[in-house]
Amino acid sequence: MAKENAFSLKFDTDWKYAPAPESTDHVEIKAKYDLFIGGKFVKPNSKKYFKSINPATEEVVCEIAEANEKDVHDAAKAARKAFPAWSKIGGKERGKYIYRIARLIQERAREFSVIESIDGGKPIRESRDIDIPLAAAHFFYYAGWADKLEYAFPNRKVEPLGVAGQIIPWNFPLLMAAWKIAPALACGNCVVLKPAETTSVTAMKLAELIRDAGLPDGVVNIVTGAGKTGAAIVNHKDVNKVAFTGSTEVGKMIQKTIAGTGKKTTLELGGKAANIIFEDAPIDQAVEGVINGIFFNQGHVCCAGSRLFVQESVKDEVIQKLKIRLETLIVGDPMDKNTDIGAINSKEQLKTITDYIKIGEKEGFEKFQANVAIPKKGYYCAPTLFLDVAQSSRLAQEEIFGPVLAIQSFRTVDEAIEKANNTPYGLSAGIWTDKGSKAFNMAAQLKAGVIWANTFNKFDPTSPFGGFKESGFGREGGMHGLEAYLKVY
């Protein structure tokens, strides 16, 4: 086993990248956003608005309406009213509307990317190259299914469910809205969607876009607010289906609430994915995959590879290379085109992450943080590794949802499988090996909904996504994603 040695690389180079901020002057964000109900923007009955904060600057972006039960009721009623016509309009017509939404997102991609980064803190490179293009791709994909549902379920009869209540998280605001809205519409349902309270702006921009696309009034309604607004959606009698992406804790509450109501659900909850590196892996690409697995979107990814299992014979090499790689990550202004890691989404989340780092320190595991410059203002967290973490440590067991990687080691294939599966979650996993048979064997035995081999965090509308165990149930994306929005006879 080769030990780490003294030779080091110096990344504080004489030649540096100049700041390259993406321009924001083409973007229009209103001072106040109302609720989108029945095709119109309406003031909230609550008369209350809350502030949306730019996590990189701690400045107020705008004010967002807080929907109360009455507002949610109005939205559900509007959706119910629109449902008969929308479900009977025919798949071909529905497809045309969805295509239009997809094209409009593409046309306004730059605007959406900039707003996503301002409101949520994610680096512009990711909003520009991943979030927004994928959101458009989801609408394109499901637009194609709208008139082909009978082919998706041969020899069976399908019907839409009615009104879908959809509650989405703050980590991929527009993309999650697309994951939820696109299949629901394709299947002929109407929608009441609630974005997360810290990231509502692109959802409201999407509401404007949906209005501009000429979608019939009430087919899509977007109400903003926090947990209470979400609960009102879940509890509303006109809601036939609840689709939720978020924490396992809230997911369990939702399931209890709707027990016995006949409402259908899909839950996409937390994760604590294992990224497993074998000694025969392509090490440089594996290291890059681990970096992408845990630091993509500041680690605010439910399928993030937050546990690294590395075979002991290559442990030192992998850890040395991870440390080196950490030195070259650029942490800072989300609007800079060269930023790799942006701002933590909110003050609350930063506290959660910082608390976990303290727990790791208290548990006594070796911590490594790269010597990278971090802005003074804004919510930032340096990318962090914890080495030789024990399976029984909280760092290895609980979802941190931040840029913190727990590194563990293993000796045999069986041990890797046992440890990887030894978690209440089961959303995703990564396998790194040059040997195909090993990858397939592992994939068959890992209890996770999505398994990547020699890559990580790859998303595509054609591929179903969803979890096992406490990571939830139901699948989004692909043909499987249709079933969640249909009655199939």
Partner 1 sequence: MELDFKNTPKIDQVGLVERADRFKTRSIKKEAKIQGLKLALNMIDLTTLEGKDTEGKVKQLCYKGMHPDDSLDIPTVAAICVYPNYVAIAKKALGTSGVKVASVATAFPSGNSNLKVKLEDTRIAVDAGADEIDMVISRGKFHQGEYQFVFDEIATIKEACGKSRLKVILETGELGTADNVRRASDIAIWAGADFIKTSTGKISPAATMPVTLLMLEAIKDHYLKTGKMVGMKPAGGISDSKTALQFLGMLRETLGNEWMTNEWFRFGASRLTNDILLQLKKQETGFYQSGDYFSKD
Return residues touching partner 1 (CB under 8 A): 2, 5-7, 9-18, 20, 125, 129, 280-286, 288-289, 320, 328, 337-338, 434, 454-455
| Contacts of 158 by beta carbon, 8 Å cutoff, 6+ apart | 149, 150, 152, 187, 486, 487, 488, 489
Which alpha helices (H) appear in 259-346, and where do they start and end?
Answer: 283-295, 315-327
Closest approach, Cβ 289 to partner 1, in A, equals 6
Query: Coil, strand, or helix at residue 85?
Result: helix
From the candidates 22, 268, 317, 399, give the one annotated as an active-site residue: 268
35-37 and 40-42 as β-strands: parallel, antiparallel, unpaired? antiparallel
Q: How far is it, in rounded angstroms, from Cα 173 to Cα 61?
A: 15
If the CB atoms of residues 328 and 422 are measured against partner 1, the closer one turns out to be 328
If the CB atoms of residues 55 and 430 are measured against partner 1, the closer one turns out to be 430
If the CB atoms of residues 97 and 452 are measured against partner 1, the closer one turns out to be 452
From the candidates 62, 187, 190, 302, give the one annotated as an active-site residue: 302
Closest approach, Cβ 342 to partner 1, in A, equals 15
* Token duo for residue 202: 């692109």
Report the largest interatomic distance among the alpha carbons of the chain, rounded to a whole angstrom: 71
If the CB atoms of residues 143 and 322 are measured against partner 1, the closer one turns out to be 322
Q: How far is it, in rounded angstroms, from Cα 388 to Cα 409?
A: 7
Q: How far is it, in rounded angstroms, from Cα 95 to Cα 78?
A: 21
Closest approach, Cβ 125 to partner 1, in A, equals 6
Q: Is 302 a catalytic residue?
A: yes
If the CB atoms of residues 252 and 458 are measured against partner 1, the closer one turns out to be 458
If the CB atoms of residues 89 and 109 are measured against partner 1, the closer one turns out to be 109
CA 467, distance to chain mean position in Å, is: 13
Closest approach, Cβ 115 to partner 1, in A, equals 20
Long-range contacts of 369-375 (CB under 8 A, 24+ apart): 369/326, 370/323, 370/326, 370/327, 370/329, 371/327, 372/326, 372/327, 372/329, 372/330, 372/331, 373/331, 373/332, 374/331, 374/332, 375/56, 375/332, 375/333
Q: How far is it, in rounded angstroms, from Cα 150 to Cα 100?
A: 23
Closest approach, Cβ 137 to partner 1, in A, equals 18
If the CB atoms of residues 335 and 395 are measured against partner 1, the closer one turns out to be 335
Q: Is 268 a catalytic residue?
A: yes
Q: How far is it, in rounded angstroms, from Cα 184 to Cα 221?
A: 13
Closest approach, Cβ 234 to partner 1, in A, equals 40
Q: How far is it, in rounded angstroms, from Cα 255 to Cα 125?
A: 37
Q: How far is it, in rounded angstroms, from Cα 50 to Cα 63?
A: 5
Closest approach, Cβ 454 to partner 1, in A, equals 5
Q: Which residues are catalytic?
A: 268, 302
